[in-house]
Structure 1
Amino acid sequence: MPPSPRLTVLSAEAEAFLAENHICTFTTLRPDGSPHTAPVRFTWESESGLARVMTTMTRRKARNLLVAPGSRVSVCQSAGWRWITLEGAATISTDPDRVMEGIRRYTKRYRSPPPQPPHLAVVEIRVDRVLGG
């Protein structure tokens, strides 16, 4: 995804919470408009307002984005009573440089690389709305 101006500014408390290691939910829309929600790990790049989710091109979330590139998605992290939802337009890519950047950030956050099955891809979410936090 090309650089663009940061659309959201989060509080220090929200940034700290997003740096914690929690399983999150990722919601895309199926072609019939119904929501598809899956558990994921994600990374957050506060400087650019970009969230990333690693997946494979065969997963439902990837197929949903292939049908509707740029569609709106959300990723929600919760722990007890604390939660934050990041929303924005998403694209999916198998571009080696973008996938490697996703792997690099994932490895840094979770201290181990993501699984690397065939057809690995990265979902990039340009966050423009934040709820909770």
Structure 2
Amino acid sequence: MRRATVELPSTTRAFLTRPHPATLTTLRPDGTPHVTPVRFTYDTATGLARVTTRAGTRKARNVATGGPTARVALCQADGFRWVTLEGRATVTDDPARLAEAVRRYSVRYRAAPPAPRDLVVVEITVDRVLSLNL
């Protein structure tokens, strides 16, 4: 099990449990940013953020082609309050990891995520957190 790499204040942890959408920024092969709205979960105990998506999406492809050093930024905002989680990302279709991502998503958003046949999870090992007004 991964250990949390960043200690978060209680106000930030609480903010990250609210069912707000976020933006996920990945890098295209040419180095330009790709920003897309997503829903996600964050596990404070392990420092792992999860985004479910289809395998063929640009965000999943960007992470997959980035290799083990692929970095992403996930930003949740509400008015003038925001948190950005940064870290290394991987894409997996491992059934156990995908099931855990779906379980956490269902708890946070009170509904299961879409379930296409090519569902994968982008896992982000968070190593930097930026925030404002929390």
> What is the TM-score normalised by the length of structure 2?
0.95
Cα offset, 1:118, TM superposition: 1.9
**Residues 54, 102 of structure 1: 8 Å contact kept:** yes
Aligned to 2:71: 72
SS at match of 2:61: helix
Structure 1 residues 114-133: aligned runs within 5 Å: 114-132=113-131, 133=134
Structure 1 residues 46-85: aligned runs within 5 Å: 46-70=44-68, 71-85=70-84
Letter of the structure 2 residue corresponding to residue 88 of structure 1: G
**Residues 29, 64 of structure 1: 8 Å contact kept:** yes
**Residues 31, 64 of structure 1: 8 Å contact kept:** yes
* Separation of aligned partners in 1, 2:25 and 2:3: 24
Runs of 4+ that moved beyond 2 A = none
* Separation of aligned partners in 2, 1:107 and 1:20: 13
Aligned to 2:97: 98
> What is the TM-score normalised by the length of structure 1?
0.96
Letter of the structure 2 residue corresponding to residue 46 of structure 1: T
SS at match of 1:115: coil
Letter of the structure 1 residue corresponding to residue 36 of structure 2: A
Cα offset, 1:65, TM superposition: 1.2
Cα offset, 1:5, TM superposition: 2.6
Cα offset, 1:66, TM superposition: 1.4
1:6 to 4, 7, 11: 4
SS at match of 2:67: coil
Question: Gaps spanning 5+ residues in structure 2: where?
Answer: none
Task: Number of aligned residue pairs: give it.
Answer: 131
Letter of the structure 2 residue corresponding to residue 107 of structure 1: S
**Residues 3, 45 of structure 2: 8 Å contact kept:** no
Q: Deviations over 1:67-113 (max 9, x none)?
A: 11231101000000000000000000011111111000000111110
Aligned to 2:109: 110
| Root mean square deviation of aligned Cα | 0.8
**Residues 27, 73 of structure 1: 8 Å contact kept:** yes
Structure 1 residues 17-56: aligned runs within 5 Å: 17-56=15-54
